[in-house]
Chains A and B, each alone.
Chain A
Amino acid sequence: MLHTVNKSPLDRNTLESCIQHALKGSAVLLIEDGVYGAMQGTQKSPMVESAMKEVSFYVIGPDLKARGIDASRVIDGIDIIDYSGFVDLVAKYDKTQSWL
Chain B
Amino acid sequence: MSKRFLYVNRKAPYGTIYALESLEVVLIGAAFEQDVSLAFLDDGVFQLTRGQQTDELGVKNFSPTYKALGDYDVNKIYVERESLEARGLSLDDLLPLTYEDEDDDWAEKDSIKLVSAAELAEIMQAQDVVLSF
Stretch at the interface among A21-29, A37-45, A47-55, A84-92: A37-45
A68–B56 Cα gap in the complex (Å)?
13
The size class of the interface chain B forms with chain A is 20 to 34
A68 to B12, Cβ gap below 8 A? no
Which of B42, B57, B86 contacts A63, CB < 8 Å?
A: B57
Give the one of B42, B54, B63 with max A CB within 10 A: B54
**Neighbouring B residues of A7 by C-beta, 8 Å:** 15
Among residues of A, the one whose C-beta sits closest to the C-beta of B61 is A66
Q: B111 at interface (Cβ–Cβ under 8 A)? A: no
Q: Which residues of B contact A42 (CB under 8 A)?
A: 86-88
> Do B43 and A68 have beta carbons less than 8 Å apart?
no
Whether B52 sits at the interface, judged by CB under 8 Å, is yes
Interface footprint category on A: 20 to 34
Q: Please measure, in the bound complex, the distance between the C-alpha atom of A21 and the C-alpha atom of B113, giving whole angstroms.
A: 41
Give A8-38 interface residues, CB cut-off 8 Å to B: 8, 10-11, 32-33, 36
Cross-interface CB contact of A66 among B43, B50, B54, cutoff 8 Å: B54
Complex Cα spacing A66 to B46, Å: 11
Known: A11-B42, A66-B54, A70-B51. A41 touches B12 (CB 8 A): no
A sample of 4 more A-B contacts (CB under 8 A), given A10-B42, A65-B56, A70-B51, is A8-B43, A41-B88, A42-B86, A66-B53
Q: B interface vs A, CB < 8 Å? A: 11-16, 42-43, 46, 49-54, 56-57, 59, 61, 63, 86-88, 93
| 5 nearest A-B residue pairs (beta carbon) | A41-B88, A33-B15, A62-B56, A68-B49, A68-B51
B-contacting residues of A (Cβ < 8 Å)? 6-8, 10-11, 32-33, 36, 39-43, 45, 61-63, 65-70, 73
